[in-house]
Structure 1
């Protein structure tokens, strides 16, 4: 039986307030004002993507910007900008455009995922609902999140 990978895609122009936790891969090309966590698979912050909070994943690739701490349980590749502490367990690869402002620390393999709780959640400034749709990408199962047109 063939396993179809699951990926959640946050499109460019989409703005999400709050933490996102997925049990599969996620790619962010928009704004996430909160933490972004993938329990397995790839967590990708694409070019133009911005995470204002922590980013945690098994495999983490940053081509955009993260304003917060980064935790990679296996591999970490940075081609973008990180302002915050970086904790990684496996390999790290810095590209020619990598910009780091924080500490870099290699740790023993983390067995658990840290869930940061926000004691006072911020109220969203945009109350329009995000649209979630399944998009056929050939051999993959992709969920795309994009801002609904008002």
Structure 2
């Protein structure tokens, strides 16, 4: 049985304006002037990659730069620069070149990200709204769907 790998690549020299939501992995080596959500797989901001907005994903690896909040539901690895708050649920690894300008907070894995047609505004969830909802619902460990819109 052949397994197909789904991944979106933003190559060096490419510039995208606006928010992106993908249901698979993504690698960014260019400029994304907006937020990004990867609902499954690896969200990789490669060396030379720049995201000017929030970055959210299951597994997040940052070798480039993110100017916005980062939400990682599984693993998080930072070897690049983050200027924004970081929220993570699973494991975190900071490499020797990691540069953080913001707060680092471990949160319960109660909220996940879903891009659905009922989202009328920006698909990027506001991290402060996610944090507030997480603090309100500490009695359950069931994964819920966050519909917090910026």
- Which category describes the TM-score, using the shorter chain as reference length? 0.7 to 0.9
Residue equivalent to 1:86: 86
User: SS in structure 2 opposite 1:32?
Assistant: strand
Residue equivalent to 1:31: 31
Residue equivalent to 1:65: 65
C-alpha displacement at 1:5, in angstroms? Answer: 1.7
The structure carrying a bigger helix percent of its residues is 2
Residue equivalent to 1:15: 15
Residue equivalent to 2:52: 52
User: Is contact 1:72-1:87 (8 Å) kept?
Assistant: yes
CA distance in structure 1 between the partners assigned to 2:51 and 2:110 by the alignment: 22
Q: Which runs of 5+ in 2 are unaligned?
A: 123-150
1:124-143 superposed matches below 5 A: none
CA distance in structure 2 between the partners assigned to 1:80 and 1:110 by the alignment: 27
Q: Which runs of 5+ in 1 are unaligned?
A: 119-150
User: Is contact 2:73-2:112 (8 Å) kept?
Assistant: no
Deviations 1:87-144 (A, max 9, x none): 00000000000000000000111432177944xxxxxxxxxxxxxxxxxxxxxxxxxx
Give the TM-score, by structure 2 length.
Answer: 0.75
Deviations 1:55-80 (A, max 9, x none): 00000000000000000000000000
Residue equivalent to 2:41: 41
CA distance in structure 2 between the partners assigned to 1:110 and 1:33 by the alignment: 29
User: Is contact 1:80-1:97 (8 Å) kept?
Assistant: yes
Q: Which 4+ runs in 1 deviate beyond 6 A? A: none
The structure carrying a bigger strand percent of its residues is 1
CA distance in structure 2 between the partners assigned to 1:39 and 1:52 by the alignment: 19
Matched residue pairs, number? 118
User: Is contact 1:39-1:58 (8 Å) kept?
Assistant: yes
User: Is contact 1:85-1:102 (8 Å) kept?
Assistant: yes
